[in-house]
Amino acid sequence: MKFQIPIGPQHPALKEPISLRMTVEGEIIRDADLRLGYNHRGLEKLAEQKTWIQNIYLTERICGICSHSHTTCYVQGVEKLMEIEPPKRGQYIRYLVSELERIHSHLLWLGVAGHEAGFDSFFMYTWRDREIVMDILEIISGNRVHYGINTIGGVRRDLDEQQVKHILDSLAILRQRSEYYQHLGTNEPSFVARLAGVGYLSREDAIALCAVGPTVRASGVPMDVRKDDPYGIYDEVPFEVCTAETCDVLGRTVVRIKELFQCYNIIEYLLKNLPTGPVAVRAPRRAKPNEVVSRYEAPRGENIHYIKSNGTDKPERLKVRAPTLGNYAATIKMLKNGFIADVPLIFAAIDPCICCAERAVALVDARSGQEKIISMNALKQLSRQVAAGNARKREAEWPL
């Protein structure tokens, strides 16, 4: 006997609105379907009406957790369009903030994983330690969530000796805490037993379904934009791509804890080799007609911005592919043949950011399953056609 269970769009297990429909046989999920579109904000259209500088702050607001990822991805692209190169010190500070953001995102995720696995004290402690890195970000940029450190042609704030010392001191505490969490992971059997074997995604499936970020790395595929297609300063910074072979939620946890240590190493390297000089160059207000694709390894995976300019001070098109969208197909695969009770854990393991991923609206024919993207004008025409053909409704009366 098969049942269909809807979870969401509003559900305590989900932090953001998304609709999951699962066909279950007893406790086992046989088929899953994702329905998106509950959090569409029209950001891409809005970006076409704002100038290059204004769009930095707009792209920053695509996501709260990876706000710096989106601006860096956008700014890298715009710098290529404008043919300017930010100075070395500016680049070092920019990618320093990106690594700090990766630490804060991974610590946040560890807490969420603990919470979903029923280990709430772990959640409290990781989030308390996350405050240390949030404080560093506030000291560097002046704000905790939307750092606003990027500008076209460099960064907006410089670092002084005192700040560098503060960051290094705080990092020592964070490193010590992360070592403790690593020790905890290897020694706490109940936590490990909850995560192991949940949400299995084989290496072949991870590649075939185009998973990104820690999800694909946990399936043993060393895929990282920072290594594969180095942007900015990543070709001169030594670091390793962290992978795990277990292909489950435990593997995704291990990858993130390993990445934390890589982040500490990168930050120490960046601060010790911080070049002197200016932090930004002057950017023109207009960009020549051209198009560019910018890639960036966000904490959640590969982030892609496609930017097209037409010679004015506004972009003609800005297309954002957030990492969560790349992971949706793999999530469905992970959910299949799992238990209903594992849904929040599997879903949390891709670190979903729904509002990042919601871009265009596609219409799906419920009977044939055909999908099409429809323009506003076509939609209006369709509505007129339906209204004209519907004689019965024309006689409808206003009930009040």
Partner 1 sequence: MKIGVFIPELLRHLFKKPATVDYPFQKLEVPRDFRGSPYLRPELCIVCRACERDCPAEAIEITATNEAEKRFRMVIHNDRCIHCAQCVDSCPTDAMQMDTKFEISDYDRHNLKMEWEYVRAVVKPKSEPKTS
Residues of this chain that interact with partner 1 (CB under 8 A) are: 50-51, 53-58, 60-61, 121-122, 125, 128, 131, 138-139, 141-143, 146, 148, 151, 156-157, 180, 183-184, 186-190, 282, 285-286, 313
What token pair was written down for 130? Answer: 């996350």
Specify the residue, 25 or 48, whose C-beta has the smaller distance to partner 1: 48
Q: Which of 138, 130, 124 is nearest to 108 (CA)?
A: 130
Closest distance to partner 1 from the beta carbon of 140 (Å): 8
Closest distance to partner 1 from the beta carbon of 253 (Å): 15
Partners of residue 362 on adjacent β-strands: 373
Closest distance to partner 1 from the beta carbon of 204 (Å): 32
Q: Which of 30, 28, 27, 32 is nearest to 6 (CA)?
A: 32
265-300 b/e (C-beta count within 10 Å ≥ 16 → b): bbbebbbeeeeeeebbeebeeebeeeebebbbbbbb
Specify the residue, 159 or 353, whose C-beta has the smaller distance to partner 1: 159
Closest distance to partner 1 from the beta carbon of 250 (Å): 14
Burial class (CB in 10 A: 0-12, 13-18, 19+), 24: middle
Task: Determine the longest span between alpha carbons in the chain, in angstroms.
Answer: 77
Report the C-alpha gap between 169 and 163 in whole angstroms: 10
Closest distance to partner 1 from the beta carbon of 163 (Å): 9
Specify the residue, 205 or 316, whose C-beta has the smaller distance to partner 1: 316
Contact predicate 173/101, CB 8 Å: no
Specify the residue, 184 or 340, whose C-beta has the smaller distance to partner 1: 184
Report the C-alpha gap between 268 and 171 in whole angstroms: 9
Contact predicate 199/338, CB 8 Å: yes
Report the C-alpha gap between 181 and 207 in whole angstroms: 30
268 φ, ψ to 5°? -60, -40
Other beta carbons within 10 Å of 197 = 14
Q: Which of 31, 109, 127 is nearest to 348 (CA)?
A: 109
Closest distance to partner 1 from the beta carbon of 286 (Å): 6
Specify the residue, 8 or 87, whose C-beta has the smaller distance to partner 1: 87
Closest distance to partner 1 from the beta carbon of 252 (Å): 21
Specify the residue, 181 or 269, whose C-beta has the smaller distance to partner 1: 181
Specify the residue, 48 or 235, whose C-beta has the smaller distance to partner 1: 48
Closest distance to partner 1 from the beta carbon of 304 (Å): 23
Closest distance to partner 1 from the beta carbon of 318 (Å): 14
Report the C-alpha gap between 158 and 275 in whole angstroms: 12
